[in-house]
A and B are shown apart, each in its own frame.
Chain A
Amino acid sequence: MKHEEITQFLLEELKRKGADDVILQLGSGETTLIKFVNNKISTTKTWESTNLSIFATKNQKIVTSSLRTFDKETAKKSAENIIRSLARMQPNKNFKGIAQGPFKYTKEQDCYDPKVEALNEEMVDMVKQAIDTAKKKAKRSSGTLEKTSAESYLLTSNNVEAHERGTGLYFAIRTLIDKNSSGYGSCISRMKNKIKIQEATEHATHIAQLSKGPKIAMSGSFDVIFAPHAIAAIVDRFADNASIFSVESGLSCLKNQLGKKIANPLVTIYDDPTRANGYGSTPYDAEGTPTQKTSIVEKGVFKNYLHNASTARRYKVKSTGNAGLISPRAFSPVLKEGKYNKEELFRQVKKGIYITNVWYTRFQNHETGDFSTIPRDGAFYIENGKIKKPLKDIRISENILKILKNISALGKETTQIKSWEVDTPTTVPYTLIKNINITKPN
């Protein structure tokens, strides 16, 4: 309560001293992480913090800051410093103001669980069970189990006052049969009874087992089945491209693409932070606009950039409720499911490759979409729908727009993925893509 009072006091101080728009985000949270390595817990980590993020404008000048000491004197000084800084700044002519409240918010479904919040020593048992499961078939396993609980309070100069409380569980495991044969699995949930640690562990172990034995390197053009972890890394990057801020900064392949056919008609991608038990779900964005499901690609056609209130005014559209404090961003991208089960997808591949995970995705040119990414963990050569041989030393050297055009079949089940490589929780099915350029080293 004390912190909220200081937040309200700071808003009044900033307004009194002449600020135009003010956004104050009070957040407090605690995270506990258990890291396990080679079948043993190597460390336990807990970090907690309370922080008030400040966004203030005057005459289109923008300053951000934060407050971590919660008393009136510090808040007063902070307001003075911000106003002084604003006076010395230059206006950003592109800034068109923050969202105007009040707003009504829909209550999030399954995003807070007191049973997650209360977890501490019990996490050790959860990790033990995973290690024991993996040990039955794999030589060693490493990974993390992380629990987060957080609360936030949003207050703006434009009639927004909102509260949010959430919890989260994130589990990741890499199992190894030998140094060169590994599998990866991860799962996320806001609710304790929906976290699928056993399933993630069994998936990782299964992939590790499949990848046993001598491996071959291949290069050329192949039809590739991407498992959810692999395609999520690409969809996550693609969703970043939809932010209007990325477009203006040269970090997007979607410049001048609005309304154009950019993908196979099978492809529908949207941002949906309203999903129940969604790891990226939030009832409102950084300036208080209610979040919504926003279509990015619909049946192959590029539909919307992601906006905050200011960029929306500039482009004469409605905010999509994707504000960060400075730039809009996707919260929870989804590649919509198709109609095939996994076996049916595999049956469509005569000679191709199955990639279970990737990392280190880097672009040569964000506007053209030229990039490469490296498979890690099990990757396999497929013949007539069957896994024939594990692969090694391969790289996907591709173009993101070409990939979207070449998606030829989608699985009928989706999974929300967050991993060491996938920052934004991204929901995807198994995906079959034709003619992927695979390269190998000297």
Chain B
Amino acid sequence: MDEDLAHFSIDQARKLGASYAEARLESTTANSLVMKNGAIEASSFDHFGGIGIRFIVNKKLGFVSTNELSKNKIITILEKAIRITKATKTMGENISLSKERTEKARYEVKQKKKLADIGVEDKISLLQKAEKAIQSTKVKVPSRYVVLSDTDTKEYFTNSDGSRIFAHVPKMNFYYFLTINANNKTTQRYWVYGASGGWEQVEKWNIPKIFSEEVTSMNNILRKGIKTPQGIMPIVCGPQVSGIMAHESCGHPFEADRILGREAAQAGESYVQLAMKGKKMASSIVSIADDPTIANSYGYFLYDNEGVKAKRKLLIKDGKVNEFLQNRETAFQLKTKSNGSSRASDFEKEPIIRMSNTFMLPGDYKEEELFEGIKKGIYMKNFMEWNIDDKRLNQKYTGAEAYLIENGEISTPVISPILEVSSLKMYPAVDAMGNNLELHAGDCGKGEPMQGIPVTLGGPSIRLQGLRIK
């Protein structure tokens, strides 16, 4: 990686009139293996990289990128990009960045078993074991679509403030989509696993076990599931559900750029207002964190893509709005400091405010203790269909694996229970928090062009009271 090219780009941007410039050099190797219905469909290996340069000229913000790493190309694209950015002089918003510490760092995620040493044969063998695990359950699974992929990214960031950061982060991802058939009915389930680190992380997931448990549970739901009783009743949600809640109705609406309207034409704005800071919005046992520094997590980083040191943020603390996700642009506008939440999915994209690992903090209860005292309720272990409106208020989670809770215990499986609820009603309804914190992987979309970015979403099992199940 020619780090001098990044320095050259900044010097060049400065020469062309930029008051601030930053450059991000990226080099990524990527592998993926697709298996469909037991047959290996295709494998792919790739190497890509390039440079993304962001600058402020006459107080206006611009960005340019190329995958041709030559000085001549950088000069040409910068000249053109700076010309159009300067042309926004009467229409452009004046942009300033918050003053942050200059950082110099090099960091790397260690791999106990290096991804580079894992051959495609090993990956095929793992997926075939998973296939056998499904077969051994005797459950009918007519469609099985799985993708096992990994990336090894080296990134060098530098800016005109003097920050210089090198990061080397390998990540891996496992996606599956299964169709289970019984009694002439089907049910479907998809999920994602992701981590940073080496192949040892993939081994920890135990993919064959994930598959045999998943298809056995879903087969049971199909065969024995009853229609979900409707009405107001206690609901216990498993970690995958509390995780998606934390992501959708806390993480996104707490992004300061959404609050300020910067994503209005894309992912939308937010129900959260700046004036809500310090106000109570959830029951006091609810705290939600966003923390990129968790070792081996899928959303891991130690410095963000503006060179700011990453840290744990508490978005909701003891039920109160505590902190928003900030980058240097929103931090300047809101007269605060960035909390290191700026990320770009790759060198071709501008860094924008993103989540990392967002999760509800666990409480003291064992999961089974959450069922105690419930005469009749619903346990939604995981979900399939979900969505939320563009202000992040009106959300819906439809259970995949779900059960009745009767007299304090899990009983009959139920088909597709629906929780359709406003964020402002949902968070105050949480009355007990489990201690079984899990972090699950996801690819979160935002921005234009769309930037899909690795995150985790998580939480413990939680109990909610007074909400309607449909």
Whether chains A and B associate is yes
Q: Tell whether A120 pairs with B83 under 8 Å between CB atoms, given A49-B66, A374-B388.
A: yes
**Judging by beta carbons under 8 Å apart, are A43 and B63 in contact?**
yes
**Judging by beta carbons under 8 Å apart, are B390 and A359 in contact?**
yes
A420 within 8 A of B: yes
Bound together, the chains give a CA A88 to CA B121 distance in angstroms of: 7
**Judging by beta carbons under 8 Å apart, are B42 and A92 in contact?**
yes
Please give me the 3 A-B residue pairs with the lowest Cβ-Cβ distance, nearest first.
A250-B143, A250-B179, A360-B387
Q: What residues on B are CB-neighbors of A341 within 8 Å? A: none
Distance between A39 CB and nearest chain B CB, rounded to angstroms: 9
Distance between B431 CB and nearest chain A CB, rounded to angstroms: 15
B188 within 8 A of A: yes
A393 within 8 A of B: yes
Within 8 A of A (CB), among B178-207: 178-179, 186-188
**Judging by beta carbons under 8 Å apart, are B261 and A364 in contact?**
no
Bound together, the chains give a CA A66 to CA B28 distance in angstroms of: 12
**Judging by beta carbons under 8 Å apart, are B387 and A374 in contact?**
yes
Bound together, the chains give a CA A62 to CA B121 distance in angstroms of: 14
Bound together, the chains give a CA A38 to CA B37 distance in angstroms of: 49
**Judging by beta carbons under 8 Å apart, are A66 and B386 in contact?**
no
B170 within 8 A of A: no
Q: Tell whether A442 pairs with B92 under 8 Å between CB atoms, given A62-B42, A92-B39, A420-B266.
A: no
**Judging by beta carbons under 8 Å apart, are A90 and B45 in contact?**
no
Q: What residues on A are CB-neighbors of B268 within 8 Å? A: 359, 376
Distance between B270 CB and nearest chain A CB, rounded to angstroms: 10
Distance between A141 CB and nearest chain B CB, rounded to angstroms: 8
Binds B, one of A97-105, A122-130, A275-283: A122-130
Q: What residues on B are CB-neighbors of A94 within 8 Å? A: 39, 41
**Judging by beta carbons under 8 Å apart, are A142 and B261 in contact?**
yes
**Judging by beta carbons under 8 Å apart, are A41 and B60 in contact?**
yes
Distance between A419 CB and nearest chain B CB, rounded to angstroms: 10
B84 within 8 A of A: yes
Q: What residues on A are CB-neighbors of B460 within 8 Å? A: none
Q: Tell whether A46 pairs with B64 under 8 Å between CB atoms, given A37-B264, A41-B92, A359-B390.
A: yes
Q: What residues on B are CB-neighbors of A41 within 8 Å? A: 60, 88, 91-93
**Judging by beta carbons under 8 Å apart, are B41 and A62 in contact?**
yes
A63 within 8 A of B: yes
Cross-chain contact of B145 among A47, A131, A251 (Cβ < 8 A): A251
Bound together, the chains give a CA A63 to CA B63 distance in angstroms of: 34
A317 within 8 A of B: no
Distance between A217 CB and nearest chain B CB, rounded to angstroms: 9
Q: What residues on A are CB-neighbors of B395 within 8 Å? A: 441
Which residue of chain A lies nearest to B385 when distances are taken between CB atoms in the complex?
A364
B468 within 8 A of A: yes
- Interface readout for A355-372 with B: 1 if CB under 8 Å, 0 if not? 000011111111110111
20 more contacts with CB within 8 A, not counting A37-B265, A442-B420, are A36-B91, A41-B60, A41-B91, A43-B62, A45-B64, A46-B77, A64-B42, A64-B43, A88-B119, A89-B40, A89-B120, A90-B124, A92-B39, A121-B84, A123-B84, A364-B385, A364-B398, A367-B188, A374-B388, A440-B420
Distance between A376 CB and nearest chain B CB, rounded to angstroms: 5
Interface of A is mostly: strand
Q: Tell whether A442 pairs with B67 under 8 Å between CB atoms, given A88-B119, A121-B84, A174-B264.
A: no
Bound together, the chains give a CA A437 to CA B71 distance in angstroms of: 58
Bound together, the chains give a CA A90 to CA B36 distance in angstroms of: 13
Distance between A215 CB and nearest chain B CB, rounded to angstroms: 12
Which residue of chain B lies nearest to A91 when distances are taken between CB atoms in the complex?
B40
**Judging by beta carbons under 8 Å apart, are B87 and A362 in contact?**
no
Cross-chain contact of B269 among A42, A123, A179, A364 (Cβ < 8 A): A179
Bound together, the chains give a CA A123 to CA B342 distance in angstroms of: 27
| Most-contacted residue by chain A among B124, B177, B262, B265 (CB, 10 A) | B265
Which residue of chain B lies nearest to A326 when distances are taken between CB atoms in the complex?
B42
Q: What residues on A are CB-neighbors of B186 within 8 Å? A: 250, 365, 367-368
**Judging by beta carbons under 8 Å apart, are A44 and B177 in contact?**
no
B213 within 8 A of A: no
B421 within 8 A of A: yes
Q: What residues on A are CB-neighbors of B269 within 8 Å? A: 179
**Judging by beta carbons under 8 Å apart, are A395 and B394 in contact?**
yes
Bound together, the chains give a CA A359 to CA B391 distance in angstroms of: 12
**Judging by beta carbons under 8 Å apart, are B261 and A37 in contact?**
yes
Which residue of chain B lies nearest to A67 when distances are taken between CB atoms in the complex?
B47
A48 within 8 A of B: yes
Q: What residues on A are CB-neighbors of B8 within 8 Å? A: none
**Judging by beta carbons under 8 Å apart, are B420 and A63 in contact?**
no
A172 within 8 A of B: yes
**Judging by beta carbons under 8 Å apart, are A420 and B265 in contact?**
yes
Cross-chain contact of A44 among B84, B187, B393 (Cβ < 8 A): B84
**Judging by beta carbons under 8 Å apart, are A365 and B188 in contact?**
yes
**Judging by beta carbons under 8 Å apart, are A442 and B261 in contact?**
no
Which residue of chain B lies nearest to A252 when distances are taken between CB atoms in the complex?
B143
Q: Tell whether A49 pairs with B179 under 8 Å between CB atoms, given A89-B40, A370-B385.
A: no
Bound together, the chains give a CA A363 to CA B52 distance in angstroms of: 36
A196 within 8 A of B: no
**Judging by beta carbons under 8 Å apart, are B62 and A44 in contact?**
yes
B65 within 8 A of A: yes
Bound together, the chains give a CA A395 to CA B40 distance in angstroms of: 39
**Judging by beta carbons under 8 Å apart, are A176 and B264 in contact?**
yes
Distance between B63 CB and nearest chain A CB, rounded to angstroms: 4
A35 within 8 A of B: yes
Which residue of chain B lies nearest to A204 when distances are taken between CB atoms in the complex?
B265
Which residue of chain B lies nearest to A361 when distances are taken between CB atoms in the complex?
B387
B10 within 8 A of A: no
**Judging by beta carbons under 8 Å apart, are B81 and A44 in contact?**
yes
B2 within 8 A of A: no
Q: What residues on B are CB-neighbors of A366 within 8 Å? A: 188
Q: List 18 A-B contacts (CB under 8 A).
A: A34-B88, A38-B93, A42-B92, A42-B262, A43-B62, A45-B64, A49-B348, A63-B44, A63-B45, A90-B124, A92-B42, A250-B145, A250-B186, A326-B41, A362-B387, A364-B398, A373-B387, A440-B394
| Most-contacted residue by chain A among B143, B267, B393 (CB, 10 A) | B143
B306 within 8 A of A: no
Bound together, the chains give a CA A326 to CA B42 distance in angstroms of: 8
**Judging by beta carbons under 8 Å apart, are A68 and B67 in contact?**
yes
Bound together, the chains give a CA A90 to CA B160 distance in angstroms of: 50
- Interface readout for B11-41 with A: 1 if CB under 8 Å, 0 if not? 0000000000000000000000010110111
Q: Tell whether A364 pairs with B384 under 8 Å between CB atoms, given A32-B84, A40-B93.
A: yes
Bound together, the chains give a CA A182 to CA B263 distance in angstroms of: 14
**Judging by beta carbons under 8 Å apart, are B45 and A81 in contact?**
yes
Distance between B447 CB and nearest chain A CB, rounded to angstroms: 9
Bound together, the chains give a CA A250 to CA B215 distance in angstroms of: 15
Q: What residues on B are CB-neighbors of A193 within 8 Å? A: none
- Interface readout for B207-244 with A: 1 if CB under 8 Å, 0 if not? 00000000000000000000000000000000000000
Which residue of chain A lies nearest to B42 when distances are taken between CB atoms in the complex?
A62
Q: Tell whether A124 pairs with B188 under 8 Å between CB atoms, given A142-B265, A251-B177, A361-B387.
A: no
Bound together, the chains give a CA A176 to CA B265 distance in angstroms of: 10
B470 within 8 A of A: yes
A50 within 8 A of B: yes
Q: What residues on B are CB-neighbors of A420 within 8 Å? A: 265-267, 448, 450
| Most-contacted residue by chain B among A127, A326, A370, A442 (CB, 10 A) | A442
B107 within 8 A of A: no
Q: What residues on A are CB-neighbors of B36 within 8 Å? A: 248-249
Q: What residues on B are CB-neighbors of A42 within 8 Å? A: 61, 92-93, 95, 262
Distance between A347 CB and nearest chain B CB, rounded to angstroms: 30
Cross-chain contact of A441 among B80, B121, B261, B422 (Cβ < 8 A): B422
Q: What residues on B are CB-neighbors of A179 within 8 Å? A: 269
Distance between B13 CB and nearest chain A CB, rounded to angstroms: 13
Q: What residues on B are CB-neighbors of A372 within 8 Å? A: 385, 387, 396, 398
Within 8 A of A (CB), among B111-137: 119-121, 124
**Judging by beta carbons under 8 Å apart, are A37 and B64 in contact?**
no
Q: Tell whether A376 pairs with B177 under 8 Å between CB atoms, given A124-B84, A144-B265.
A: no
